[in-house]
Structure 1
Amino acid sequence: MEIGALFYVLAGFAILNSAFHIFLSKVAYYKEPEAQGSLKKAVSVIVCSKNEQENLKVLIPKLLEQDHPNFEIILINDASHDDTKNVIEDFRVKDQRIKMVDVVNNESFWGNKKYALTLGIKKAVNDHLVFIDADCTPNSSQWLSIMSKHFTTDIKIVLGYSGYKKVNDSLLNKLIRYETVLTAIQYFSYALHGNPYMGVGRNLAYTATRFYEVNGFMDHMRILGGDDDLFVNQAANSENTTVSLNEDSFTSSQPKTNWSSWWKQKKRHINTASHYKKTHKRSLGLFYISQIGFFISVILGLFFGLNWILIVSVILVRYVVFWVVMSKGFSRFRESDIIMLLPVLELILLGIQMALFISNMVHRPKQWN
């Protein structure tokens, strides 16, 4: 049986992609140790809200129900033009733990979420900050205690997980949840390997001290988005960062329900990723190339008559590794219902990511909400 150069290309991409998945298995099989911090530390919960009047009516009671002895809630009204300010005011007069920051746009930082968040951080009286988005809810009353307990003398940044609520019979919803868990598997595994590169603002904690040490968001203030991932990319390292994988520390968000709004959201996310450190961009880019290269090599192999037994053998090896790692990871993040669709969702997402990169080269988004 003659083995040509195309087979070696296919095998090379398969080996490279499988190696990445083995690297990403860190989070799937990780046994999280007991957090060493104190449960009694004072915490400031920060929520940035822009036109979120209905979501705040759901979130604020959930925050007030948190089983934590000492916390305040900083609610930021980021120049909303709905009833967000009045909703915050109504809750504020009922509970002294709630404080409001009312943001008025200025010419220098028009529509910039980082500007609003900075004002909220300055308002906080506590050094330990925990962030959640207005359209999220904690999965339990222990969320705040578990997230904040990870803070120690050395640990300044805690990466949490935020999934999306399920919508039955929706391909978009399955794709959103697939992409969310895949991203979580990546950034949690990198952090556990001592190389943190991002977090999500829907469930993230860090100290005000660390925020000011890196001059807050100033290095990327003009970049749309990145108040979470770009900040972590800049401020996190192997010594000061940990992860929280306890299910009670997860949060859940309302997913986009139409393709257009999700497309706009992903365009913003991809735009910020282009500003990661070079080492992270290379590594994440190589993973993407290994996926694309594998599928293109399979197609070319079939087109040019490469022995089908060789092709099937390589495909089987690659998918065994893929399935073992991803199915375990998706179970860990409570998304077992889409495990059977993983190969299909992988292909769909790859095609969309390619289209997003091309789209962002033509037109970049200009508002955070």
Structure 2
Amino acid sequence: MTKLFWSFPWLELFFIVFCLITLVQLFYYGWFFRRLAFYSPPPKEHSQQHPVSVIICARDEAARLVTHLPGALVQTYPSTHEVIVVNHNSQDDTRFLLDEFKKTFKGLHVVNLEYEAIGIPGKKYPLSMGIKEARHEIVLLTDADCVPASEFWLQKMQDGYRDGIEVVLGYSPYKKGPGFLNKIIRFDTFHTALQYLSYALAGYPYMGVGRNLSYKKDLFFRNKGFSALNHVPGGDDDLFINKVAKKENTAIVVDPDTFTLSEPKKTFSEWYRQKARHYTTAKYYKPLHKFLLGLYSFSHLLFYPLLVVSLFYDWRISLILFGVRFLIQGFIYNRAMRRLGEEDLFPWWWLLDIWMFGYYLIFSSTVWKRPRKAWK
């Protein structure tokens, strides 16, 4: 038995698998990710200015609201709009701060919630209350720790709506800062956006990010809100979009004026906890989405180890395959990073791509872990 094991052509097998894995990777870059890299928004026959309700949920966020909320309140938008802040049982000075803001900004609508919803963990309850209180059909969501990149965020996000569109996906990068952790966090955010925006363009929308997301109020209530997701602590953005978004009703907006900026975590442990919480919802995605995302991640994880092994079998072909993937991937990344305003990451993309091997190993266990019930 031992002799049979060692006589098996393992190197040849690993080389064949490496070739297949490389083809899988090239498929994703050629079929999915090129769509964002070469995306240009469809021409609008006529521009409309829909009434919009901006909704922000806050829990003990006074320190962030004082610096970030004005960005949503001073938007240049001539049509009817409002900003709703749902103050969910805050124990800090959030209520008093919002009362002061209301004296200056008449379009600010505050919803104070002073109790918890039993059996509904996470942010879904306050967000549902915010959507219920919204006066307008289009709701635009962001977080208390986010600030719009420009005064035209609201105007250009709502411009994504046209006939049949009920969901508009935006991009929310993290602010640039020193250190390699900042690059890792921002590359991860870019890499996630490369996937969900490209999948949406390919007709397979599977998630959105609550820091910059818009949909119609009627869509929310037609699908009974978050009722099917109440047992999951997270999922108020990605799982809801996974449920309701379709090829025909989803659009993306990636104009730099529509980005919302957030402060990245300062330590790896803080970022790990944040990412671990996000990953706990992935197991609830639709089967097709789980397959497509899983196949890509699995091929990405195996690529570099199999490359090293394959070099011992046929280094020429192995290097040719590596070179083809390297050039195509670099080209797609360059265009997509420029599209999403992450150009400064491009000189590092090859190192960050190698880092993804460790990334998948570190976060693989979080998919099965029991999520925390808090939304903050």
Alpha-carbon distance change, 235 to 252 in structure 1, aligned in 2, over 3 angstroms: same
Structure 2 match to 1:315 = 322
Q: Distance in 2 between matches of 1:176 and 1:219?
A: 31
Structure 2 match to 1:64 = 73
Structure 2 match to 1:7 = 15
Q: Calculate percent identity across the aligned residue pairs.
A: 35
Query: Offset of 1:214 from its aligned partner?
Result: 0.8
Query: Offset of 1:330 from its aligned partner?
Result: 1.0
Which residues in structure 2 correspond to 1:1-369 (within 5 Å)?
4-23=12-31, 24-35=33-44, 38-69=47-78, 70-106=80-116, 108-109=118-119, 111-168=121-178, 170-302=179-311, 305-369=312-376
Q: Distance in 2 between matches of 1:106 and 1:39?
A: 39
Query: Offset of 1:359 from its aligned partner?
Result: 4.3
Q: Distance in 1 between matches of 2:347 and 2:209?
A: 26
Alignment check: 8 A CA contact 2:200 2:247 kept: yes
Consecutive unaligned residues in structure 2, runs of 5 or more: 1-10
Q: Distance in 2 between matches of 1:129 and 1:332?
A: 25
Q: Secondary structure at the match of 2:100?
A: helix
Q: Name the TM-score, length of structure 1 as normaliser.
A: 0.94
Letter in 2 for 1:237: K
Q: Distance in 1 between matches of 2:138 and 2:45?
A: 15
Query: Offset of 1:290 from its aligned partner?
Result: 1.1
Q: Distance in 1 between matches of 2:345 and 2:136?
A: 40
Q: Distance in 2 between matches of 1:133 and 1:280?
A: 26
Q: Distance in 2 between matches of 1:9 and 1:245?
A: 36
Query: Offset of 1:154 from its aligned partner?
Result: 1.1
CA RMSD of aligned residues (A): 1.7
Structure 1 match to 2:5 = none
Q: Distance in 2 between matches of 1:153 and 1:107?
A: 36
Query: Offset of 1:59 from its aligned partner?
Result: 2.1
Q: Distance in 1 between matches of 2:56 and 2:151?
A: 17
Alignment check: 8 A CA contact 1:36 1:149 kept: no
Moved more, 55-64 or 185-194: 55-64
Alpha-carbon distance change, 109 to 59 in structure 1, aligned in 2, over 3 angstroms: farther
Q: Name the TM-score, length of structure 2 as normaliser.
A: 0.92
Q: Secondary structure at the match of 1:164?
A: coil
Alignment check: 8 A CA contact 2:75 2:152 kept: yes
Q: Distance in 2 between matches of 1:279 and 1:5?
A: 28
Alignment check: 8 A CA contact 1:75 1:100 kept: yes
Alpha-carbon distance change, 335 to 82 in structure 1, aligned in 2, over 3 angstroms: same
Query: Offset of 1:353 from its aligned partner?
Result: 2.8
Aligned pairs, how many?
A: 364
Q: Distance in 1 between matches of 2:371 and 2:139?
A: 31
Alignment check: 8 A CA contact 2:301 2:360 kept: no
Q: Distance in 2 between matches of 1:106 and 1:255?
A: 28
Query: Offset of 1:246 from its aligned partner?
Result: 1.4
Q: Distance in 1 between matches of 2:104 and 2:14?
A: 69
Alignment check: 8 A CA contact 2:145 2:263 kept: yes
Letter in 1 for 2:24: L
Query: Offset of 1:64 from its aligned partner?
Result: 2.0
Q: Secondary structure at the match of 1:105?
A: coil
Alpha-carbon distance change, 36 to 251 in structure 1, aligned in 2, over 3 angstroms: farther
Q: Distance in 1 between matches of 2:271 and 2:45?
A: 38
Alignment check: 8 A CA contact 1:156 1:240 kept: yes
Alpha-carbon distance change, 264 to 215 in structure 1, aligned in 2, over 3 angstroms: same
Structure 1 match to 2:8 = none
Moved more, 198-207 or 358-367: 358-367
Q: Deviations over 1:200-252 (max 9, x none)?
A: 11111101000001111111112121111111101110111101021111111
Query: Offset of 1:346 from its aligned partner?
Result: 2.0
Letter in 1 for 2:142: I
Query: Offset of 1:93 from its aligned partner?
Result: 2.8
Alpha-carbon distance change, 176 to 272 in structure 1, aligned in 2, over 3 angstroms: same
Q: Distance in 1 between matches of 2:29 and 2:20?
A: 14
Q: Deviations over 1:232-278 (max 9, x none)?
A: 10111011110102111111111111111111110011101111101
Moved more, 68-77 or 350-359: 350-359
Consecutive unaligned residues in structure 1, runs of 5 or more: none
